[in-house]
Structure 1
């Protein structure tokens, strides 16, 4: 798929957010549930890939921010949860390839085989990747505020800070 838009965003309130990747274009709309940490790592690795291709890429000097052009198209459907994410660069076409593999279904088997045919193959231009990286960083950082004393996320309803009440979290 060669989407016009490739984005990450969330649904829900901080502390109870569900993250999604979304690709949309002439070929349709695909939405995939994804873990927040997967969004973080995907943005970091795509940033690294851009810098490998072009060390002068503006992704390092541009500030992260929500891009209105990358807003979700509703409704966000729960298709298959993203498991493995692969990245490649097609030098001849100057395209970044993102391969999204579904999370394997639970099985009694010890080994899980990845079926390449079950994955989604996205081909993105570098400007799309750059926009995704800056947008994804901003989206992830919209979460709960971090307590300056203990470093834990603070819920909107209140925060029981172990650093201020003398209690420690058990390991």
Structure 2
């Protein structure tokens, strides 16, 4: 079967969001543009790690290329953050197995690829070289090529990337607070804390 590439270069909107109440949330990346809306499912830890790696990528690109990536003069200042929910209906195209990142020096943009999970594949964030023009540049080195897997590709300006990072962090933090003793999410109905031998706290 031919794989499908959902490309948004750039998207009108690209956000991380959730569906469901705290404790039962499903996490998605959603891109909109050209009359299309594409949503892909992933784990909470992937959203958190993606935000972290994107920050590192921007910092490294600024250090290596001496470009101020905070807010170039030609980019407008966004008045408010995007706190709107995901666009409905949220139809899952695929579940993400690997996230690839790259910085395109020629266009000073960040490229993100969410690649569908193969059978038995572990979730990961693969940070490619910052000078790579596209994410595929490093994928040929993988032991198992994923050219036959569906993927979502977006190209963002540094400012749009920082807006994505900010929202992603808010989305992750909006879940159940962690237990101060064991770090596991607290449940409103009670928490079996292993630090208290299973007693409710």
Please state which band the TM-score falls in when normalised by the shorter chain: 0.7 to 0.9
Q: How does 1:16-55 map to 2 (within 5 A)?
A: 16-26=24-34, 28-54=36-62
Provide the C-alpha distance between the structure 2 equivalents of 1:106 and 1:46, rounded to a whole number of angstroms.
Answer: 26
Provide the C-alpha distance between the structure 2 equivalents of 1:70 and 1:97, rounded to a whole number of angstroms.
Answer: 23
User: What is the SS of the residue equivalent to 1:120?
Assistant: strand
TM-score w.r.t. length of structure 1: 0.80
User: What is the SS of the residue equivalent to 2:118?
Assistant: coil
Q: Gaps spanning 5+ residues in structure 2: where?
A: 1-7, 72-79, 122-142
- CA deviations over 1:53-107 (Å, ceiling 9, x no partner): 2256559xxxxxx933553111111111011111111111111111121111469
- CA deviations over 1:102-127 (Å, ceiling 9, x no partner): 111469xxx85311673222111111
TM-score w.r.t. length of structure 2: 0.69
RMSD: 2.6
Q: Gaps spanning 5+ residues in structure 1: where?
A: 60-65
Tell whether the 8 Å contact from 1:7 to 1:70 is kept in structure 2 after alignment: no
Q: CA deviation at 1:43?
A: 0.5
| Pairing partner for 2:187 from 155, 166, 170 | 155
